[in-house]
Structure 1
Amino acid sequence: MFPFARKDYFPSNLVENLPLSTPIDKLEFIVFDTETTGFNLAKEDRLIEIGAVKVKGMEVVEESAYQSYINPNRQIPREITELTGIANEQVEKAPDAMQAIQKLTSLANQTSACYVGHYVSFDMHAIKYELKRRNLHWKAPKAIDTLNLIGYIAPSYDMRDLEKYARDFGTRIYQRHSAKGDALTTAYLFVELLHICHDRGIKTWGDLLMVGEIL
C-alpha cells in the first residue's frame, strides 16, 4: 500500500515538476489499457483487466510489460466475454481493483512523465471511478492520448480504431481487446507517432503536452 499523504488522495506516482524543456527522447512513459464489464463506469461497470508497458528513449521496453485480471465482484456480461475472452472463472480469484491500480502506479516509479493510451480518457475514468468508490481521488495525473497525436499529424482521420491506426502507421499489432495486447499495440503506435512528431518539430516535453495532453 502507498503511504497516502491525505486520506482522500491517491498518488499518480509520476515525475513531479518535470522541466518543459526536457527533450522527448529523454522521457519515460507508462502506456496502459483497461478492460471493463461495460461502459457505464460511474454506476455498475467495473475493471476486469489492466495492462501496461513502459516507453523509454522513444522505444518500447517490452520486458516491463504488466498485466492483471481484476475481480469486479459482479458477473461479466456474455457480450464482454465474447469480446475480450475474459470469463468469470478467470477473475474469480484475481486481485481487486485497488491492488491492480497500485501495481500500475508503482510501475511509474516516479520516473515516468505521464500515462499514455488510445482514447485514454476512458481508461482514466475507469480507474478514477474505482478509486472514487473507495473515497479516493486520483489527483490530476497527466495523460497523453495517441488520438490527439494522430489528430496533430493527420487531421483528416476521423476513426478511433486502434488496429486501423496501427496498420496505417505500420506498427505492431498484438492481441485485440486484451489489456496487455492493446497496451503493447498502443505503445508501438505511440513510439511511431513520437518519431513523426519529433521530425515535425515537437522536440520537448512542453511541445508534446501542447499537442497530445488530454484536458
Structure 2
Amino acid sequence: MGTLFTARMMNRLLQLRLHKRRLPPLAAANLASLAHLDASRPAGKYAYTVVDLETTGLDFRKDRIVSIGAVKLIDERIHLGRMFNQLVNPGRHMPAQAITIHGIVPSMLASAPSGMDTLDGFLDFLGSDILVAHPAWFDVAFLNRLMQARYGFRLQNLTIDNRLLCERLLLTKMLPALPRKPGLLGNDAADPERHRKQPDLEKIAHQLGIRIYQRHSAVGDALATAMILQRCLAKLAQTGRGRLRDLIRSGTV
C-alpha cells in the first residue's frame, strides 16, 4: 500500500464486499482502522503498535506462531506499561532449529492458547494503531493467515516496514537495496532465503547503539524495533519530512 489513498480504496472495496456480513466487534473495528488517518498530520502524533513474532520456521504457509510481542509508541514515546506478550500453542511439532533461536520449548506452550484464540487479544491491543514490524512482510504474513481464517480478510491497519525505514533513512550505506515489490503474501514472503539474506535486527540495533533486551524474545525484539522507529520518526522530522505521508513513502513498498 504505497499511499494512504490506495489503502483506503482497497479498504473501501473490502467494505463493499462485506457489507451484508454481520462482523464481530473486533473485526468491524479493524475494518475501520484507516478512518482516523490524515496524511498531512505529523507522523509523530499517531499511535503505533510495534509487533514481533517468534515462529516454528520462516514459511507462513506451513509454519506457525509461537509467541507474539508488541509495544505501544504514542507521541513518539514508548509506553512500557502497555505491552502484549503471549506465548502461542502452534498445534504442531517444534523444529529443533527454531528452539535454538528463540529458546521456546514445547512444554512452555502446552497450556498456551492457539493462534486463533490469541488473535482477538492482539486485535484488541492493536486497535486502530499504525502497525509496525521489522520486516513487516514476515510478521504480517503470519498474522494475515490468522485473520483470513477467522474473519475472511487481512489486517486493515496501515502497516509500516521498519526495515525499509532504516534502509531509506538511517543506514543507507549499511543495508543492501530491497526489491521494491516483495508483496506481503506473495512467494517472497514464504522464501526463507530472502529472510536470511537481510541484515537482522541485532546488527541494525548495534549500528544505532541500541541494546536489545532478550534477543529473539518477541517482546524484546518489538521493544528494540520501537526504539529504532523513534530514531526514524526523529530523522523524518529533522529533514522536514515529518508528515504521515512522508512516513508512508519511506516505510512502504
TM-score by length of structure 1 reads 0.88
Stretch moving more, 13-22 or 140-149: 13-22
Within a 5 Å distance, the mapping from 1:151-162 to structure 2 comes to 151-153=167-169, 154-156=171-173, 157-158=175-176, 159-162=198-201
Structure 2 CA distance for aligned equivalents of residues 12 and 34 of structure 1:
22
Matched with 1:169 is: 208
Paired with 1:23 and 1:133, the residues of 2 have a C-alpha distance of: 35
Q: CA deviation at 1:94?
A: 0.5
Alignment of 1:46-57 (within 5 A): 46-57=64-75
CA contact (8 A) 1:30 1:52 kept: yes
Amino acid at match of 1:150: C
**In the alignment, what sits opposite 1:201?**
240
Structure 2 residue corresponding to 1:115, chosen from 111, 127, 131: 131
CA contact (8 A) 1:12 1:105 kept: no
Corresponding residue number in structure 1 for 2:220: 181
Q: Tell me: CA distance 1:14–1:134, structure 2 relative to 1, closer, same or farther (3 Å).
A: closer
Identity, in percent, stands at 29
C-alpha deviation, 1:17, in angstroms: 4.0
Tell me, what secondary structure is at the counterpart of 1:192?
helix
Q: TM-score, normalised by structure 2?
A: 0.75
Cα distance in 2 for partners of 1:76, 1:8 equals 34
Compared CA separation, residues 98 and 179, structure 1 to 2 (3 A): same
Q: Is the 8 A contact 2:72 2:78 kept in 1?
A: yes
The one-character-per-residue Cα deviations of 1:39-95 (angstroms, maximum 9, x if unpaired) are 2211x2111110000001111111111100111111111111111111111111101
Could you list the runs of 4 or more consecutive aligned residues of structure 1 that deviate by over 6 angstroms after TM superposition? none
Aligned to 2:123: 105
Distance in 2 of aligned mates of 1:88 and 1:105:
25
State whether structure 2 residue 59 is matched by structure 1 residue 40: yes
* Higher strand content, 1 or 2: 1
**Count of residues paired in the alignment:** 208
RMSD of equivalent CA atoms: 2.1
CA pair 57-99 structure 1, distance change in 2 beyond 3 A:
same
Q: Is the 8 A contact 2:67 2:85 kept in 1?
A: yes
**CA separation in 1, counterparts of 2:112 and 2:82?**
20
Which residue does 2:142 correspond to in 1?
126
Q: Which residue of 1 aligns with 2:229?
A: 190
- How far does the alpha carbon of each residue in 1:154-192 deviate from its partner, in whole angstroms, 9 at most, with x for none? 322224211111111122311111111110111111111
CA drift at 1:108: 2.4
Is the Cα contact below 8 Å between 1:52 and 1:66 reproduced in 2?
A: yes
Q: Give the CA deviation at 1:128.
A: 1.2
Q: Distance in 1 between matches of 2:215 and 2:22?
A: 37
Q: Secondary structure at the match of 1:137?
A: coil
5+ unaligned residues in a row in structure 1: which ranges? none
